[in-house]
């Protein structure tokens, strides 16, 4: 035993020495490279542009651009895996034409699967995964997403979102795992490990914990334009900010997350993108985050009316890479404006060169860790990786586990697979776009067959013994004479501030369909497709069973699996369900906590 123990100690010591040596070599490589770089080359590395808004591909070489991204809907003309690899390699070749041949890093919002890519597996959004509350499942989903991202040649996903949503009116509620910081923290760490692995290396997809910090608890009505809450102000004291909102980032850093994105919101009136205390003092120094601090989409622009002031304040606050995505509007600030003003500010002494060198070293260090200097050009994708059967089965499992059964009178569920006529009602029953929600192929999502998948209707037809037992009436006008009705209703897709709402009641169309179903005097089940709890008292009270299905993604079979009893309901509410709009915001721990359904509620067949 002593010999085995000594051998193990020797192996551990050698691995430790190897890691130290590798780290030392990387640091030497980075420091030597920075010594060779001009100011222009350094500022270029700190600049990220959406490929749609590149004025010319040669600008990558001209401005020494360090990063390209694809925002929501920013896809190749032919949206297939091989086209993404070709797009990536075309840009990378431009970067390799530069004097120092520094490769660029390519980022994308792969937030519920590789959701910009046609045919990719779309998993449930985070709110559903929070109700499943399964760390291993969440890690597997992130790993599967990373595999699909790698198959298209890309390097970096702007996920996970570790916001702790406190107000259901917020349009990003579904991007949050829970109102409970413990669930958010644990699933955020699981996601990070899924994307990156235990250490950042050539097999990793760079993860990005977002948005630092407090974006789940902004004051309603303090935003501008169509942002009523998304870009508002957080007025919490620092103790609560640390305990509830900084904690998920702290644990993600311990798990090795390689990048962190700054939030649009303010803290006590000061925009986060220019908040030196929160970014430099807390995030970088106190929490010892040594990865890339990146802005959100044009996030620095809201610091001040003067763009040069925005540039100076954001960089000095600790932002390493600025997402200057670009625009078709010639009056908007573009990447060449950012580069010009940053260079000018350094030469004037408004931004210290030490801050520039620190930012660039962080960017280059990450690029080195994930193997970009060694293998900048990507190979053609392996077929059948994106949207693979294995990944779709994982998504189907995640749908099953995310569903929450809120009502089941007289054991209406599970439904029988034979001998019963079932009429499905509502446009959500046969709409992949509605199932997937926002951040699906397009920024705001879409309607209909926007990507391959299985709708609830198709899943029901496959689940029963005779598909003729399933009838579909989108608007409820032709119900026939069913034994039971399944009503699929809910929200249409949205993202960010577009989804900020004063009211969370059902749409007028859904209410009309509900009235038709009620008048039929047939028993009915409601499947609610939504990105948050809604005010659905009428539908809930009159239905025989009610399911919160959230935004399940492309694999509708997961719903049929549970509805027809092949699996039991296991999901529990990760968000409190309010009785009325007057109660919102409502969260467990409130002094007057009296919800319709408490945090953690969820029925099962047992």
Residues carrying an active site annotation: 296, 496
Half-sphere exposure of 351 (CA within 13 A, CB side): 30
Which phi and psi (to 5°) does residue 154 adopt? Answer: -85, 165
User: Which tokens belong to 367?
Assistant: 């690029």
- Residues whose CB is less than 8 angstroms from the CB of residue 503 and which lie 6 or more positions away in sequence, other chains included: 535, 581
Q: For residue 50, what are the CA distances in angstroms to 37, 73, 575?
A: 24, 11, 34
CB 443 within 8 Å of CB 70:
no
Positive or negative, the CA dihedral 90, 91, 92, 95 is positive
Half-sphere exposure of 183 (CA within 13 A, CB side): 22
In angstroms, the CA 32 to CA 214 distance is 38
- Residues whose CB is less than 8 angstroms from the CB of residue 291 and which lie 6 or more positions away in sequence, other chains included: 257, 258, 259, 260, 362, 366
Buried b (16+ CB within 10 A) or exposed e, 249-259: bbbbbebbbbb
The label of the residue with tokens 């959500």 reads 428
In angstroms, the CA 358 to CA 364 distance is 10
- DSSP string across 324-366: ----S-TTS--HHHHHHHHHHHHHHTSS-HHHHHHHHHHHHHH
Q: Whose CA is closest to 526, among 417, 433, 412?
A: 412
Overall residue count recorded for the chain in this entry: 606
Q: For residue 528, what are the CA distances in angstroms to 56, 435, 580, 591?
A: 46, 10, 17, 29
CB 163 within 8 Å of CB 217:
no
The 3-class SS string of 169-213 reads CCCCHHHCCCCCHHHHHHHHHHHHHHHHCCCCCCCCCECEEEEEC
In angstroms, the CA 170 to CA 219 distance is 10
């Amino acid at each position: 035993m002593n010999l085995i123990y000594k051998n193990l100690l020797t192996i551990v010591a050698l691995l430790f020495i190897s890691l130290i040596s590798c780290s030392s070599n990387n640091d030497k490589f980075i420091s030597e490279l920075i010594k060779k770089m001009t100011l222009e080359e350094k500022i270029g590395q700190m600049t990220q542009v959406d490929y749609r808004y590149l004025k010319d591909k040669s600008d990558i070489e001209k401005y020494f651009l360090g990063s390209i991204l694809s925002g929501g809907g920013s896809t190749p003309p032919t949206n297939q895996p091989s086209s993404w690899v070709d797009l990536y390699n075309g840009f990378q070749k431009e970067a390799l034409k530069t004097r120092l041949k520094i490769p660029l890093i390519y980022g994308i919002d792969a937030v519920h699967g590789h959701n910009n890519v046609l045919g990719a597996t779309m998993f449930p959004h985070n709110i559903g995964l929070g109700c499943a509350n399964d760390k291993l499942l969440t890690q597997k989903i992130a790993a599967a997403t990373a595999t699909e991202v790698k198959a298209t040649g890309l390097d970096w996903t702007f996920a996970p979102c570790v916001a702790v949503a406190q107000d259901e009116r917020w349009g990003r509620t579904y991007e949050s795992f829970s109102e409970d910081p413990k669930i958010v923290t644990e699933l955020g760490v699981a996601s990070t490990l899924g994307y990156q692995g235990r250490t950042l290396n050539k097999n990793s997809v760079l993860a990005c914990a977002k948005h630092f910090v407090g974006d789940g608890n902004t004051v309603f009505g303090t935003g501008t334009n169509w942002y009523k809450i998304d870009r508002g102000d957080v007025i919490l004291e620092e103790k609560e900010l640390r305990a509830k909102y900084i904690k998920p980032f702290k644990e993600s850093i311990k798990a090795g997350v390689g990048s962190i994105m700054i939030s649009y919101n303010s803290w006590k009136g000061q925009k986060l993108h220019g908040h030196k205390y929160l970014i430099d003092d807390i995030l970088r120094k106190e929490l010892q985050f040594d990865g890339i601090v990146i802005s959100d989409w044009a996030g620095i622009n809201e610091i001040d009316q003067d763009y040069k002031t925005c540039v100076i304040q954001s960089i000095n606050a600790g932002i390493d890479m600025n997402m200057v995505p670009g625009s078709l509007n010639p009056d908007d600030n573009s990447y060449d404006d950012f580069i010009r003003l940053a260079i000018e500010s350094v030469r004037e002494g408004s931004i210290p060169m030490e801050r520039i060198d620190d930012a660039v070293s962080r960017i280059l260090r990450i690029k080195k860790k994930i193997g970009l200097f060694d293998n900048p050009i990507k190979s053609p994708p392996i077929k059948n990786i994106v949207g693979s059967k294995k990944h779709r089965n994982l998504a189907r499992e995640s749908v099953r586990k995310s569903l929450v059964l809120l009502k089941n009178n007289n054991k209406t569920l599970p439904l029988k697979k034979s001998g019963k006529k079932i009429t499905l009602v509502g446009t959500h029953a046969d709409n992949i776009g509605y199932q997937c929600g926002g951040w699906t192929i397009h920024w705001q999502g879409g309607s209909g067959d926007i990507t391959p998948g299985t709708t609830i209707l198709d899943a029901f037809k496959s689940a029963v013994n005779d598909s003729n037992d399933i009838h579909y009436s989108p608007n409820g006008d032709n119900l026939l004479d069913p034994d039971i009705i399944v009503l699929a209703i809910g929200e249409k897709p949205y993202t960010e501030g577009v989804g900020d709402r004063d009211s969370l009641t059902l749409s007028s169309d859904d209410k009309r369909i509900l009235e038709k179903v009620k008048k039929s005097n047939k028993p009915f089940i409601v499947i609610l497709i939504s990105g948050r709890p809604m005010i659905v008292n009428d539908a809930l009270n009159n239905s025989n069973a009610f399911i919160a299905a959230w935004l399940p993604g492309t694999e509708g079979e997961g719903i049929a699996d549970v509805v027809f009893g092949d699996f039991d309901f296991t999901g529990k509410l990760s968000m409190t369900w309010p009785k009325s709009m007057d109660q919102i915001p409502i969260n467990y721990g409130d002094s007057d906590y009296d919800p319709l359904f408490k945090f953690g509620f969820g029925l099962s067949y047992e």
